[in-house]
Amino acid sequence: KQEVTQIPAALSVPEGENLVLNCSFTDSAIYNLQWFRQDPGKGLTSLLLIQSSQREQTSGRLNASLDKSSGRSTLYIAASQPGDSATYLCAVSLMFSGGYNKLIFGAGTRLAVHP
Amino acid sequence: NAGVTQTPKFQVLKTGQSMTLQCAQDMNHEYMSWYRQDPGMGLRLIHYSVGAGITDQGEVPNGYNVSRSTTEDFPLRLLSAAPSQTSVYFCASSYRTLSLSEQYFGPGTRLTVT
């Protein structure tokens, strides 16, 4: 059974720091891995999608890497800002049934960036 | 595009009551799904649909029904609400199978069952 774990569960950093969020998964037979951002009381916003054949994706100050063989992904946030404060979720896509792929989510890392 | 919309945003039910959570998307996505989010557990798949007229169960389907009569709409019905169904419900859609495309989420419905 696929399990997704995110460490740390919560993180508080001063503005300007570079930081790394970790995601690990138990079964390497994934199609892709997606990082989401969730603001309090809001839905999920997709940040980066890494296909299983890719090693990393970049968007602005965000960089996500994927190592399928070791079951790990990291989300790197450069020069953090207070506006980055949110919960970050990672999810892996795998085959479910009837040809449908489902997402298995980690519990998230709650990030607070203080001025 | 409005993206994925959900109504209502908040709902309080008494045990045994029924209700329907609405979900609509205007992106012509074939794939739609419902998740529930509970503290410390991430999101779990309730039901999904790969197209109009086709639905199937996810990981935690008990107590919920769905139907997909149009591409745009995917309502979730609670037949007889229970306190264990207190949660935040998210609807999501994607253009193609998740092995190829990202998933878009609605803003969520926060449900409390007393």
Confidence (pLDDT) at A97: 66
- With a cut of 80, say whether residue A31 has pLDDT above it: yes
> What token pair was written down for A41?
């009381």
Q: Using CA atoms, how far apart are residues A109 and B19, in angstroms rounded to an integer?
A: 32
Half-sphere exposure of B64 (CA within 13 A, CB side): 27
A105 contacts in chain B (CB < 8 Å): 42-44
Asked if A43 and B43 come within 8 Å (Cβ–Cβ), the reply is no
pLDDT, tens digit, for every residue of A3-23? 999 999 999 999 999 999 999
Confidence (pLDDT) at B40: 76
Asked if B42 and A42 come within 8 Å (Cβ–Cβ), the reply is no
| Buried/exposed code over B67-86 (b: 16+ C-beta within 10 A; e: otherwise) | bbeebbebbbebeebeeebb
Confidence (pLDDT) at A41: 81
- With a cut of 80, say whether residue B99 has pLDDT above it: no
Find the CB nearest B99 among A32, A106, A108.
A32
Mean confidence (pLDDT) of chain B:
92
Q: Using CA atoms, how far apart are residues B100 and B109, in angstroms rounded to an integer?
A: 27
Q: Using CA atoms, how far apart are residues A67 and B54, in angstroms rounded to an integer?
A: 35
Residue A19 to chain B, least CA–CA distance (Å): 22
Confidence (pLDDT) at B94: 87
Alpha-carbon distance values, A37 to A1, A33, B29, B88, B101 (Å)? 25, 14, 21, 16, 17
